[in-house]
Chain A
């Protein structure tokens, strides 16, 4: 007997979609209602699925919905494209849909995460929010994009890393829940920039050395002096235009950390410091940034950090994650420690003995005949300390 509920749809979604454009208001409303119910039912199935089959690994299921705010501020707005529906004539709708899909695929394929909540949560986006709105945000439930005013910015859906950035705010909400203020808020911003940039690099097949490391390249309107919203490679250099944006204020080192009450305590400013640390680590490790540096950061940010984490906690967590993934004292871990040190954040649980670095939180060496975990890597100090404690009787 199967306890699994099942939901059937008599009218295929693409037909419902067509009906929503029907001239008859009643038909239109009912079609919208049906689409909403269908979407809700899919959500229910997704939530019930894992319970009904505890022993099965739940495969990733990509579900996207795009709404149009039609220049208003009511959210989510009018449903204009659901999963599997054909492309819209509106490029903003298609960009929101396609890039959310790329971000979903990146999380699923590279990091083994099934959507924002790791349980297949539907990815909702709203485009054309307000009039000439120069912003994009995550409201706690969905992504929201403005069209830009055409003077400083063009439409915000045009940049794949911006969409990866917004969705990652959702991932942070479901994992570390980094408080959106001061250093923890700057880390929240930082992690969104990291994944945003990695989604773009992964999609383009670029190595760390080939990538531009820019956030929001292409969002600046023609004539604005700048290349993007932020540069992870060189924080503080993304734009410099006295007439419109002013100068990019991001610091790249703790020495220039900015204390401010604005921007939730400078969350979009001081994120330049960890951004530069990630860039340093990715370049030092080499190859594709998502393969090693990206996994180290994901393991630290999604699985280790607490909501009130400070930069030093992120440094320690990434250092620890690097040791767990690639071995304590290996090149990857050293690269992470050095990357943070270069921006003025010294990893705490790292001591230097000659050229070797060891992690104090590594598993304690065993006293019996079993060799220590980690394939023969021995921590000299600890081994000695342990042997001193060995009972002599």
Chain B
């Protein structure tokens, strides 16, 4: 399973990105990624980006799992998505 996380925007617009491939990771980390993906319960197909009405300068996250990209801002995204995004970015 390949997962790419890109963070953009924010007042300073300083991006961050990281990509992991569970088939090339240590077992414990691969298992953690799989657990986080399962917990994130991403929908079958990406819908419209999740955006907080009237918010500005919040981070935008693009999470790509096996080729499908899910976009959400930091306030609109479910906590489980954030946990996955933060874990993957920490591997980068």
Q: Do B13 and A268 have beta carbons less than 8 Å apart?
A: yes
B55 near A136 (CB under 8 angstroms)? no
Given contacts A134-B14, A153-B12, are A262 and B60 in contact (CB under 8 A)?
yes
Which residues of chain A have C-beta atoms less than 8 A from B6's C-beta? 262
Q: Is A269 an interface residue (CB 8 A)?
A: yes
Summed over the interface, the residue pairs from A and B with CB atoms below 8 Å come to a total of 79
A178 CA to B60 CA, complexed, in Å: 18
CB of B11 within 8 Å of the partner chain: yes
Q: Which stretch from A137-145, A205-213, A288-296, A317-325 is at the chain B interface?
A: A137-145
Contact between chains at B11 and A216 (CB < 8 Å) = yes
Contact with A along B1-25 (1 / 0, CB 8 A): 0000010111111110000000000
Instruction: Tell which of B57, B58, B60, B75 has the most Cβ of chain A within 10 Å.
Output: B57
Chain B binding surface SS class: loop
Which residues 49-72 in A have Cβ within 8 Å of B in the complex? Answer: none
A229 touches B60 (CB 8 A): no
Alpha-carbon distance between A219 and B14 when the two chains are bound, in angstroms = 13
CB <8 Å contact, A140 and B53: yes
A contact residues around B51 at 8 Å (CB): 180
List A162-203 residues whose CB lies under 8 Å from chain B.
162, 165-166, 169, 172-173, 180, 188-189, 192
Q: Given B8, B14, B53, B57, which contacts A137 in the complex, CB threshold below 8 Å?
A: B57
Given A140-B52, A262-B62, the answer on whether A134 and B57 have CB atoms closer than 8 Å is no
In the complex, A178→B83 CA distance in Å?
Answer: 31
- Is A41 an interface residue, CB under 8 A from the partner? no
Do A135 and B59 form a contact, CB below 8 Å, given A140-B54, A262-B9, A263-B9? yes
Interface contact B56-A135, CB-CB below 8 Å = no
User: How many A residues are at the interface, by size bracket?
Assistant: 20 to 34
Q: Is the CB of B57 within 8 A of A135?
A: yes
Q: Does chain B have a CB within 8 A of A245?
A: yes
Are A152 and B56 in touch, CB under 8 angstroms?
no
Cβ contacts under 8 Å, A152 to chain B? 14
Q: Taking the nearest CB of chain B, how far is it from the CB of A389, in angstroms?
A: 48
* Contact yes or no, B10 A137, CB < 8 A: yes
CA distance A135 to B75 in the complex (A): 13
In chain B, residues 49-78, which have Cβ atoms closer than 8 Å to a Cβ of chain A? 51-60, 62, 75
CB within 8 Å of B: which residues of A? 134-141, 152-153, 156, 162, 165-166, 169, 172-173, 180, 188-189, 192, 216, 219, 229, 245-246, 249, 261-264, 267-269
